[in-house]
Structure 1
Amino acid sequence: MATAPYGVRLLVGAAVTALEETRKLPQTILMYPMTVASQIAQLVMKMQQDVADLVNKGDETLGSLFPPKDEKPEWATFDDDVSDDGNGGADVLDLPLRDGERLTEGRFALFSEEPEKPAGTATGVSLTGEAAGATPDTVPEIVAELEYEELTLAQLRARLTSMRVSELEALLAYEESTRARAPYQTLLANRITRASAK
Protein backbone atom coordinates (compact mmCIF):
# COMPACT_ATOMS: atom_id res chain seq x y z
CA MET A 1 0.00 0.00 0.00
CA ALA A 2 1.30 3.40 -0.98
CA THR A 3 1.88 5.93 1.74
CA ALA A 4 -0.62 8.78 1.70
CA PRO A 5 0.65 12.31 1.45
CA TYR A 6 1.59 14.05 4.71
CA GLY A 7 -1.32 16.51 4.61
CA VAL A 8 -3.89 13.72 4.20
CA ARG A 9 -2.46 11.79 7.11
CA LEU A 10 -2.55 14.94 9.22
CA LEU A 11 -6.21 15.63 8.39
CA VAL A 12 -7.29 12.01 9.05
CA GLY A 13 -5.44 12.00 12.38
CA ALA A 14 -7.06 15.30 13.42
CA ALA A 15 -10.54 14.01 12.45
CA VAL A 16 -10.12 10.77 14.45
CA THR A 17 -8.81 12.68 17.47
CA ALA A 18 -11.77 15.09 17.29
CA LEU A 19 -14.16 12.15 17.12
CA GLU A 20 -12.53 10.46 20.15
CA GLU A 21 -12.60 13.69 22.16
CA THR A 22 -16.26 14.20 21.26
CA ARG A 23 -17.06 10.75 22.63
CA LYS A 24 -15.17 11.57 25.88
CA LEU A 25 -16.84 14.99 26.17
CA PRO A 26 -19.65 13.99 28.64
CA GLN A 27 -17.12 12.44 31.03
CA THR A 28 -14.70 15.33 30.57
CA ILE A 29 -17.43 17.86 31.33
CA LEU A 30 -18.31 16.04 34.56
CA MET A 31 -14.66 15.83 35.67
CA TYR A 32 -13.71 19.37 34.65
CA PRO A 33 -14.95 21.15 37.82
CA MET A 34 -13.05 18.72 40.06
CA THR A 35 -9.91 19.12 37.98
CA VAL A 36 -10.13 22.90 38.15
CA ALA A 37 -10.81 22.82 41.91
CA SER A 38 -7.83 20.56 42.60
CA GLN A 39 -5.55 22.74 40.49
CA ILE A 40 -6.73 25.86 42.35
CA ALA A 41 -6.20 24.15 45.73
CA GLN A 42 -2.70 23.08 44.65
CA LEU A 43 -1.90 26.64 43.58
CA VAL A 44 -3.17 28.10 46.89
CA MET A 45 -1.13 25.61 48.94
CA LYS A 46 1.99 26.40 46.91
CA MET A 47 1.46 30.12 47.49
CA GLN A 48 1.03 29.54 51.26
CA GLN A 49 4.28 27.54 51.38
CA ASP A 50 6.10 30.27 49.49
CA VAL A 51 4.77 32.94 51.87
CA ALA A 52 5.75 30.86 54.92
CA ASP A 53 9.28 30.38 53.51
CA LEU A 54 9.60 34.14 52.98
CA VAL A 55 8.44 34.83 56.57
CA ASN A 56 10.95 32.31 57.96
CA LYS A 57 13.77 33.89 55.99
CA GLY A 58 12.69 37.30 57.27
CA ASP A 59 12.68 36.05 60.87
CA GLU A 60 16.16 34.56 60.47
CA THR A 61 17.50 37.77 58.96
CA LEU A 62 15.94 40.00 61.61
CA GLY A 63 17.14 37.63 64.33
CA SER A 64 20.72 37.86 63.08
CA LEU A 65 20.58 41.66 62.69
CA PHE A 66 18.75 42.36 65.96
CA PRO A 67 19.35 39.54 68.46
CA PRO A 68 16.57 39.17 71.05
CA LYS A 69 17.17 40.59 74.50
CA ASP A 70 17.22 38.10 77.36
CA GLU A 71 14.65 39.91 79.46
CA LYS A 72 11.67 38.68 81.34
CA PRO A 73 8.71 40.85 82.27
CA GLU A 74 8.38 42.07 85.85
CA TRP A 75 5.01 40.36 86.25
CA ALA A 76 6.44 36.93 85.40
CA THR A 77 7.44 34.81 88.41
CA PHE A 78 8.95 31.37 88.38
CA ASP A 79 9.58 28.78 91.08
CA ASP A 80 13.29 29.59 91.06
CA ASP A 81 12.52 33.27 91.78
CA VAL A 82 10.64 32.59 95.02
CA SER A 83 12.84 33.56 97.93
CA ASP A 84 12.79 32.11 101.44
CA ASP A 85 12.25 35.50 103.07
CA GLY A 86 8.49 34.86 103.38
CA ASN A 87 7.43 37.69 101.06
CA GLY A 88 5.07 36.38 98.43
CA GLY A 89 4.71 32.76 97.53
CA ALA A 90 4.39 31.74 101.16
CA ASP A 91 1.82 29.10 100.30
CA VAL A 92 4.30 27.53 97.88
CA LEU A 93 7.03 27.48 100.52
CA ASP A 94 4.79 25.77 103.08
CA LEU A 95 4.43 22.63 100.95
CA PRO A 96 6.43 19.65 102.22
CA LEU A 97 9.54 18.70 100.28
CA ARG A 98 10.78 15.23 99.38
CA ASP A 99 14.04 14.76 97.47
CA GLY A 100 13.89 18.43 96.47
CA GLU A 101 10.38 18.14 94.95
CA ARG A 102 7.27 19.75 96.38
CA LEU A 103 4.44 17.43 97.31
CA THR A 104 1.16 18.82 96.07
CA GLU A 105 -2.40 17.91 96.78
CA GLY A 106 -4.64 16.78 93.97
CA ARG A 107 -5.38 13.73 91.93
CA PHE A 108 -1.71 12.93 91.31
CA ALA A 109 -1.00 12.88 95.03
CA LEU A 110 -3.02 9.64 95.18
CA PHE A 111 -0.41 7.82 93.15
CA SER A 112 2.76 9.33 94.55
CA GLU A 113 4.89 7.11 96.71
CA GLU A 114 5.66 8.01 100.26
CA PRO A 115 9.28 8.61 101.25
CA GLU A 116 11.19 5.61 102.52
CA LYS A 117 11.38 5.17 106.24
CA PRO A 118 14.72 5.71 108.01
CA ALA A 119 16.55 2.83 109.61
CA GLY A 120 15.28 1.73 113.00
CA THR A 121 11.61 1.42 112.10
CA ALA A 122 9.49 -1.67 112.44
CA THR A 123 6.89 -2.24 109.71
CA GLY A 124 7.09 1.44 108.86
CA VAL A 125 6.23 2.62 112.40
CA SER A 126 8.79 4.47 114.46
CA LEU A 127 9.96 2.70 117.60
CA THR A 128 9.19 5.90 119.45
CA GLY A 129 5.73 6.07 117.93
CA GLU A 130 3.92 7.48 120.97
CA ALA A 131 3.89 10.88 119.25
CA ALA A 132 2.24 9.33 116.23
CA GLY A 133 -0.35 7.57 118.39
CA ALA A 134 0.76 3.96 117.78
CA THR A 135 3.54 1.74 119.04
CA PRO A 136 4.85 -1.46 117.48
CA ASP A 137 2.99 -3.35 120.21
CA THR A 138 -0.36 -1.92 119.03
CA VAL A 139 0.13 -2.58 115.32
CA PRO A 140 -2.82 -4.68 114.13
CA GLU A 141 -2.02 -8.13 112.79
CA ILE A 142 -3.59 -7.32 109.41
CA VAL A 143 -1.07 -4.48 108.90
CA ALA A 144 1.89 -6.85 109.15
CA GLU A 145 0.10 -9.55 107.15
CA LEU A 146 -0.59 -7.22 104.20
CA GLU A 147 2.69 -5.31 104.57
CA TYR A 148 0.37 -2.32 104.58
CA GLU A 149 3.09 0.32 104.86
CA GLU A 150 4.54 -0.64 101.47
CA LEU A 151 1.20 -0.82 99.61
CA THR A 152 0.31 1.79 97.04
CA LEU A 153 -3.28 2.97 96.83
CA ALA A 154 -3.97 0.77 93.81
CA GLN A 155 -2.48 -2.31 95.50
CA LEU A 156 -4.57 -1.68 98.61
CA ARG A 157 -7.73 -1.26 96.52
CA ALA A 158 -7.11 -4.66 94.91
CA ARG A 159 -6.82 -6.39 98.31
CA LEU A 160 -9.86 -4.77 99.96
CA THR A 161 -12.47 -7.01 98.37
CA SER A 162 -11.32 -10.09 100.26
CA MET A 163 -11.19 -8.43 103.70
CA ARG A 164 -13.70 -8.53 106.56
CA VAL A 165 -15.21 -5.38 108.06
CA SER A 166 -13.26 -5.82 111.30
CA GLU A 167 -9.98 -5.94 109.35
CA LEU A 168 -10.97 -2.86 107.37
CA GLU A 169 -11.80 -0.98 110.57
CA ALA A 170 -8.45 -2.00 112.08
CA LEU A 171 -6.63 -0.69 108.99
CA LEU A 172 -8.57 2.58 109.08
CA ALA A 173 -7.83 3.10 112.77
CA TYR A 174 -4.16 2.33 112.15
CA GLU A 175 -4.00 4.78 109.22
CA GLU A 176 -5.69 7.53 111.24
CA SER A 177 -3.32 7.06 114.18
CA THR A 178 -0.14 6.98 112.10
CA ARG A 179 0.19 8.65 108.72
CA ALA A 180 -3.39 9.92 108.24
CA ARG A 181 -3.20 9.92 104.43
CA ALA A 182 -6.51 11.25 103.16
CA PRO A 183 -6.75 9.04 100.03
CA TYR A 184 -6.15 5.89 102.07
CA GLN A 185 -8.65 6.95 104.74
CA THR A 186 -11.29 7.69 102.12
CA LEU A 187 -10.74 4.38 100.35
CA LEU A 188 -10.98 2.39 103.58
CA ALA A 189 -14.03 4.31 104.86
CA ASN A 190 -15.87 3.82 101.56
CA ARG A 191 -15.09 0.10 101.54
CA ILE A 192 -16.32 -0.25 105.15
CA THR A 193 -19.57 1.48 104.20
CA ARG A 194 -20.09 -0.82 101.20
CA ALA A 195 -19.19 -3.98 103.12
CA SER A 196 -21.48 -3.02 106.04
CA ALA A 197 -24.40 -2.42 103.70
CA LYS A 198 -24.32 -6.01 102.38
Structure 2
Amino acid sequence: MSTAPYGVRLLVGAAVTAIEETRKLPQTILMYPMTIASQIAQLVMKMQQDVAVLVIKGDETLETIFPPKDEQPEWATFDEDSGADRDSDDGADVVELPVRDGERLTEGRFALFSGDPEVPKQDAPAETPAASADAPEIVAEIEYDSLTLAQLRARLTSLRVPDLEALLAYEESTKARAPYQTLLANRITRASAK
Protein backbone atom coordinates (compact mmCIF):
# COMPACT_ATOMS: atom_id res chain seq x y z
CA MET A 1 0.00 0.00 0.00
CA SER A 2 1.40 3.30 -1.05
CA THR A 3 1.12 6.33 1.12
CA ALA A 4 -0.63 9.25 -0.51
CA PRO A 5 0.79 12.72 -0.09
CA TYR A 6 -0.26 14.65 2.99
CA GLY A 7 -2.41 17.13 1.07
CA VAL A 8 -4.40 14.37 -0.66
CA ARG A 9 -5.05 12.61 2.64
CA LEU A 10 -6.21 15.92 4.12
CA LEU A 11 -8.63 16.55 1.22
CA VAL A 12 -10.05 13.00 1.34
CA GLY A 13 -10.55 13.25 5.13
CA ALA A 14 -12.30 16.61 4.75
CA ALA A 15 -14.56 15.23 2.00
CA VAL A 16 -15.56 12.17 4.08
CA THR A 17 -16.28 14.39 7.10
CA ALA A 18 -18.40 16.70 4.93
CA ILE A 19 -20.40 13.73 3.63
CA GLU A 20 -20.96 12.37 7.18
CA GLU A 21 -22.06 15.77 8.45
CA THR A 22 -24.41 16.17 5.49
CA ARG A 23 -26.08 12.87 6.37
CA LYS A 24 -26.53 14.06 10.01
CA LEU A 25 -27.85 17.47 8.90
CA PRO A 26 -31.62 16.71 9.14
CA GLN A 27 -31.27 15.49 12.73
CA THR A 28 -28.85 18.28 13.62
CA ILE A 29 -31.20 20.95 12.28
CA LEU A 30 -34.00 19.59 14.46
CA MET A 31 -31.76 19.67 17.53
CA TYR A 32 -30.46 23.24 17.03
CA PRO A 33 -33.39 25.01 18.74
CA MET A 34 -33.07 22.84 21.84
CA THR A 35 -29.30 23.18 21.87
CA ILE A 36 -29.46 26.94 21.58
CA ALA A 37 -32.20 27.18 24.24
CA SER A 38 -30.25 25.03 26.70
CA GLN A 39 -27.07 27.02 26.12
CA ILE A 40 -28.94 30.28 26.74
CA ALA A 41 -30.53 28.85 29.91
CA GLN A 42 -27.12 27.69 31.10
CA LEU A 43 -25.65 31.15 30.45
CA VAL A 44 -28.49 32.89 32.32
CA MET A 45 -28.15 30.58 35.33
CA LYS A 46 -24.39 31.11 35.42
CA MET A 47 -24.93 34.88 35.37
CA GLN A 48 -27.47 34.62 38.21
CA GLN A 49 -25.01 32.58 40.29
CA ASP A 50 -22.25 35.09 39.66
CA VAL A 51 -24.51 37.99 40.68
CA ALA A 52 -25.57 36.14 43.85
CA VAL A 53 -21.92 35.51 44.77
CA LEU A 54 -21.16 39.22 44.29
CA VAL A 55 -24.12 40.25 46.46
CA ILE A 56 -23.06 37.86 49.24
CA LYS A 57 -19.52 39.23 49.17
CA GLY A 58 -20.95 42.76 49.28
CA ASP A 59 -23.13 41.90 52.29
CA GLU A 60 -20.20 40.39 54.14
CA THR A 61 -18.02 43.42 53.43
CA LEU A 62 -20.73 45.88 54.50
CA GLU A 63 -21.29 43.95 57.73
CA THR A 64 -17.61 44.21 58.60
CA ILE A 65 -17.57 47.95 57.86
CA PHE A 66 -20.99 48.75 59.35
CA PRO A 67 -21.88 46.10 61.98
CA PRO A 68 -25.63 45.54 62.31
CA LYS A 69 -27.40 47.07 65.30
CA ASP A 70 -29.43 44.78 67.54
CA GLU A 71 -32.19 47.32 67.99
CA GLN A 72 -35.86 46.53 67.69
CA PRO A 73 -38.33 49.04 66.32
CA GLU A 74 -40.53 50.74 68.92
CA TRP A 75 -43.66 49.19 67.49
CA ALA A 76 -42.29 45.62 67.74
CA THR A 77 -43.26 43.85 70.95
CA PHE A 78 -42.55 40.28 71.82
CA ASP A 79 -43.71 38.05 74.66
CA GLU A 80 -40.32 38.23 76.33
CA ASP A 81 -40.41 42.05 76.19
CA SER A 82 -43.93 42.48 77.52
CA GLY A 83 -42.83 41.76 81.08
CA ALA A 84 -45.63 39.24 81.56
CA ASP A 85 -44.69 36.41 83.84
CA ARG A 86 -45.62 33.12 82.20
CA ASP A 87 -46.07 31.43 85.57
CA SER A 88 -48.76 33.90 86.58
CA ASP A 89 -50.84 33.18 83.47
CA ASP A 90 -54.12 31.49 84.31
CA GLY A 91 -53.70 29.10 81.36
CA ALA A 92 -56.96 30.11 79.68
CA ASP A 93 -55.41 29.89 76.21
CA VAL A 94 -53.42 26.71 76.87
CA VAL A 95 -54.84 23.49 75.49
CA GLU A 96 -53.49 20.31 76.98
CA LEU A 97 -53.01 17.60 74.37
CA PRO A 98 -53.26 13.97 75.40
CA VAL A 99 -49.93 12.21 75.83
CA ARG A 100 -49.15 8.50 75.59
CA ASP A 101 -45.66 7.02 75.92
CA GLY A 102 -44.17 10.52 75.91
CA GLU A 103 -45.69 11.43 72.52
CA ARG A 104 -48.57 13.80 71.93
CA LEU A 105 -51.59 12.36 70.21
CA THR A 106 -53.30 14.55 67.70
CA GLU A 107 -56.61 14.58 66.00
CA GLY A 108 -57.17 14.99 62.31
CA ARG A 109 -55.13 13.10 59.78
CA PHE A 110 -52.67 11.76 62.39
CA ALA A 111 -55.52 10.22 64.40
CA LEU A 112 -55.55 7.60 61.67
CA PHE A 113 -52.37 6.06 63.02
CA SER A 114 -52.71 6.67 66.74
CA GLY A 115 -54.99 5.05 69.25
CA ASP A 116 -57.03 6.96 71.77
CA PRO A 117 -55.40 8.22 74.93
CA GLU A 118 -56.29 6.51 78.16
CA VAL A 119 -57.53 9.83 79.53
CA PRO A 120 -61.36 10.04 79.27
CA LYS A 121 -62.78 12.97 77.30
CA GLN A 122 -64.74 15.58 79.22
CA ASP A 123 -67.69 15.68 76.82
CA ALA A 124 -67.78 11.92 76.15
CA PRO A 125 -69.38 9.54 78.62
CA ALA A 126 -66.78 7.57 80.53
CA GLU A 127 -66.66 3.84 79.94
CA THR A 128 -67.88 1.95 82.95
CA PRO A 129 -67.56 -1.73 83.74
CA ALA A 130 -71.29 -2.03 83.06
CA ALA A 131 -70.76 -0.56 79.58
CA SER A 132 -67.99 -3.11 78.94
CA ALA A 133 -70.25 -5.93 80.04
CA ASP A 134 -72.97 -4.71 77.67
CA ALA A 135 -70.56 -4.52 74.74
CA PRO A 136 -71.63 -6.46 71.65
CA GLU A 137 -69.78 -9.68 70.82
CA ILE A 138 -68.18 -8.07 67.75
CA VAL A 139 -66.28 -5.63 70.01
CA ALA A 140 -64.43 -8.44 71.75
CA GLU A 141 -64.17 -10.52 68.57
CA ILE A 142 -62.20 -7.92 66.62
CA GLU A 143 -60.65 -6.28 69.74
CA TYR A 144 -62.32 -3.00 68.74
CA ASP A 145 -61.07 -0.97 71.71
CA SER A 146 -57.42 -1.49 70.73
CA LEU A 147 -57.82 -0.77 66.99
CA THR A 148 -56.50 2.38 65.38
CA LEU A 149 -58.59 4.03 62.71
CA ALA A 150 -56.46 2.51 59.94
CA GLN A 151 -56.76 -0.98 61.42
CA LEU A 152 -60.52 -0.59 61.76
CA ARG A 153 -60.80 0.59 58.15
CA ALA A 154 -58.97 -2.54 57.01
CA ARG A 155 -61.40 -4.81 58.87
CA LEU A 156 -64.63 -3.06 57.88
CA THR A 157 -65.04 -4.87 54.57
CA SER A 158 -65.35 -8.22 56.31
CA LEU A 159 -68.13 -7.09 58.68
CA ARG A 160 -71.88 -7.39 58.14
CA VAL A 161 -74.25 -4.42 58.45
CA PRO A 162 -75.65 -5.55 61.86
CA ASP A 163 -72.09 -5.80 63.21
CA LEU A 164 -71.28 -2.34 61.84
CA GLU A 165 -74.41 -0.91 63.44
CA ALA A 166 -73.53 -2.56 66.76
CA LEU A 167 -70.00 -1.06 66.58
CA LEU A 168 -71.42 2.38 65.80
CA ALA A 169 -73.84 2.20 68.73
CA TYR A 170 -71.02 1.01 70.99
CA GLU A 171 -68.73 3.84 69.84
CA GLU A 172 -71.46 6.44 70.42
CA SER A 173 -72.18 5.13 73.90
CA THR A 174 -68.55 4.92 75.02
CA LYS A 175 -65.79 7.04 73.52
CA ALA A 176 -67.78 8.96 70.85
CA ARG A 177 -64.74 9.57 68.63
CA ALA A 178 -65.82 11.52 65.57
CA PRO A 179 -63.43 9.88 63.03
CA TYR A 180 -64.53 6.41 64.12
CA GLN A 181 -68.22 7.34 64.02
CA THR A 182 -67.86 8.83 60.55
CA LEU A 183 -65.96 5.81 59.25
CA LEU A 184 -68.56 3.37 60.60
CA ALA A 185 -71.53 5.45 59.39
CA ASN A 186 -70.06 5.75 55.88
CA ARG A 187 -69.37 2.01 55.73
CA ILE A 188 -72.95 1.23 56.86
CA THR A 189 -74.28 3.51 54.12
CA ARG A 190 -72.13 1.86 51.45
CA ALA A 191 -72.88 -1.67 52.63
CA SER A 192 -76.64 -0.98 52.80
CA ALA A 193 -76.65 0.41 49.25
CA LYS A 194 -75.34 -2.86 47.78
* Distance apart, 1:101 and its partner CA: 7.0
Q: 1:112 aligns with which of 111, 114, 120?
A: 114
Alignment of 1:152 with 2:130, yes or no, is: no
* Distance apart, 1:67 and its partner CA: 4.0
Number of the residue aligned with 1:184: 180
Q: Is the 8 A contact 1:97 1:103 kept in 2?
A: yes
SS in 2 for 1:163: coil
SS in 1 for 2:90: coil
Q: Is the 8 A contact 1:111 1:152 kept in 2?
A: yes
Q: Is the 8 A contact 1:96 1:102 kept in 2?
A: no
- The higher relative CO (CA closer than 8 Å, separation ≥ 6) is in 2
SS in 2 for 1:113: coil
Q: Is the 8 A contact 2:131 2:174 kept in 1?
A: no
Alignment of 1:57 with 2:57, yes or no, is: yes
CA distance in 1, matches of 2:77, 2:152: 45
Matches within 5 A, 1:57-76: 57-65=57-65, 66-67=67-68, 69=70, 74=76
SS in 2 for 1:97: coil
Q: Summarize deviations over 1:69-94 as a string: whole Å, max 9, x none.
A: 385984778xxx9x64367xx3xx2x
Q: Percent identity among equivalent residues?
A: 64
Structure 2 residue runs without a partner (length 5+): 1-5, 121-125
Report which of the two structures shows the higher radius of gyration computed on alpha carbons: 1
The count of corresponding residues between Structure 1 and Structure 2 is 167
* Distance apart, 1:160 and its partner CA: 1.3
Q: 2:90 aligns with which of 66, 85, 107?
A: 85
Structure 1 residue runs without a partner (length 5+): 1-11, 119-124
CA distance in 2, matches of 1:179, 1:48: 59
Q: Summarize deviations over 1:108-136 as a string: whole Å, max 9, x none.
A: 33443322479xxxxxx85xx17xxx533
TM-score (norm 1): 0.57
Instruction: Check 1:54–1:147 CA distance in 2 against 1; reply closer, same or farther (3 A cut).
Output: same
Matches within 5 A, 1:5-154: 44-65=44-65, 66-67=67-68, 69=70, 74=76, 84-85=89-90, 90=93, 93=94, 95-99=95-99, 105-116=107-118, 129=128, 135-154=131-150
CA distance in 1, matches of 2:68, 2:113: 45
* Distance apart, 1:153 and its partner CA: 1.0
Which moves more between the two structures, 103-112 or 55-64?
103-112
Q: Is the 8 A contact 2:112 2:150 kept in 1?
A: no
Q: Is the 8 A contact 1:140 1:174 kept in 2?
A: yes
Q: 2:191 aligns with which of 182, 190, 195?
A: 195
CA distance in 2, matches of 1:190, 1:41: 53
